Amino acid sequence: MSLDNTLLMVRRNDFLAKLSDADYENLNIEHNYVIAEKGKYIYFDAPSLNKLYFVKDGHVKIGNIDEEGNDIVKEILQPGDIFGQFTLERNNLEGEYAQAYKTDVSLCAFTIEDFQRLLSHRPDMSIQYAKKVGQKLRKVESRLVNLLQKDARSRVLYFFWTLLPEGEKMQQGSYSLDNYLTHEDIARLTGTSRQTVTTLINEFANEGILDIDRKKIVIHDIRSLQKMARIG
């Protein structure tokens, strides 16, 4: 891929789009642009990993393997998400893996030092990055509360609500998004069984809440979904 095409791809990211030409040159964007092939691990059990990643295109599965060898899926990330050492410290990622999911994935990868150098020269981006990290941490906290306090139906409804872009969550009307999830994925991410997820999805379709096929998820009424998921 040429440098011009690489920069065009990178600038589609909501955060990285704010970089100036000088920033791109100083960060050596062409060198830090990574393509991870479908099914390949971006990292695996890397407690001293010194990088953070921005998802450009595709989806990344974040998980870990427990002591009994079970695959515990923690997140499936979308374009625009960050992962790795996103708190900019060498925190413990022991046991965690990141894997290109379903398709090839394009990423921007930065060392902690390079990214800290960028933020020191761009305080405006430092504020935006702090907000992005805050949103990610709040999402993790909300997911934990959801798993602990809600029944299976509410958990699955809440999960579909979290798939909505932030700007759409408080809108009225319907919304359609690409489906990259299996029933097994949803079950793992909501603490339910695949059979329960299948049953609930059929119920949601019969009730006119949402419809799912292999390519699309269509939420028919965002406000109703929010209410039924007991959000807010």
Query: What's this model's pTM, rounded to 2 decimal places?
Result: 0.79
3-state per-residue secondary structure call for 81-148? CEEECCCCCCCCCCCEEEEEEEEEEEEEEEEHHHHHHHHHHCHHHHHHHHHHHHHHHHHHHHHHHHHH
Query: Is CATH 3.30.1490.190 the right assignment for the domain spanning 151-228?
Result: no
Give the C-alpha distances (Å, rounded to integers) separating 52 from 11, 13, 43, 60, 82.
17, 15, 11, 13, 7
Contact present, 158 and 225 (Cβ < 8 Å):
no
pLDDT in tens, 5-53: 555 555 555 677 777 777 777 777 667 888 999 999 999 977 678 899 9
CATH of domain 3-146: 2.60.120.10
pLDDT band at residue 219 using 50, 70 and 90 as cut-offs: very high
Tell me whether the CATH fold assigned to 3-146 matches the one assigned to 151-228: no
Q: Which of 55-59, 143-147, 162-166, 225-229 has the lowest mean pLDDT?
A: 143-147
pLDDT in tens, 92-151: 677 889 999 989 999 988 888 888 988 888 888 898 889 888 888 888 777 777 777 788
pLDDT band at residue 83 using 50, 70 and 90 as cut-offs: very high
- The domains of the chain are located at 3-146, 151-228
